[in-house]
């Protein structure tokens, strides 16, 4: 078990270093500004707050990050928990969240746009 933890920690560290070397590590204000033209403030802020719980201070979100290839995030949280949390936070049924568009990459920006689709569906 300790060996698995050590391998996971090493891989997480490598992923963080690779991502930080590839792009800037924006502040929250910079990130929200980068997202503003494509994603609602509600979805952008939710993603920042939710991902920050898992990422910690060493790495911040960037709109062009792939959620599971560039960031050490649990794919099950991204796929299952985050949509449920977002729907609950904004008072709509998570069943109103549409299916993920097959031709979209799983970037932070696209995920925010997808959350917005559910938010709009929940408001109608």
What confidence tens digit (pLDDT) does each residue in 38-58 have? 999 999 999 999 999 989 888
Q: CB–CB of 96/87 below 8 Å? A: yes
The Cβ of residue 2 has, within 10 Å, a number of other Cβ atoms equal to 6
User: What is the pTM for the complete model shown?
Assistant: 0.88
Of 44, 53, 98, 91, give the one whose Cα is nearest residue 72: 53
Pairwise CA distance, residues 71 & 11, whole Å = 11
Phi, psi of 18 (to 5 degrees): -60, -45
- Count of domains for the chain: 1
Q: Which domain holds residue 19?
A: 2-123
CA dihedral for 65, 67, 69, 70, sign (positive or negative): positive
What confidence tens digit (pLDDT) does each residue in 77-92 have? 999 999 999 999 999 9
């Amino acid at each position: 078990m300790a060996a698995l933890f050590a391998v996971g920690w090493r891989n997480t560290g490598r992923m963080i270093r690779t991502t930080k070397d590839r792009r800037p590590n924006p502040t929250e204000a910079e990130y929200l500004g980068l997202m503003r033209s494509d994603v609602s403030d509600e979805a952008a802020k939710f993603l920042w707050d939710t991902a920050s719980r898992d990422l910690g201070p060493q790495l911040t979100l960037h709109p062009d990050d792939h959620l599971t290839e560039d960031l050490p995030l649990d794919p099950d949280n991204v796929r299952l928990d985050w949509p449920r949390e977002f729907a609950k936070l904004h008072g709509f049924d998570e069943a109103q969240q549409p299916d993920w568009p097959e031709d979209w990459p799983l970037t932070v920006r696209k995920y925010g746009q997808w959350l917005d689709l559910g938010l709009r569906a929940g408001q109608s």
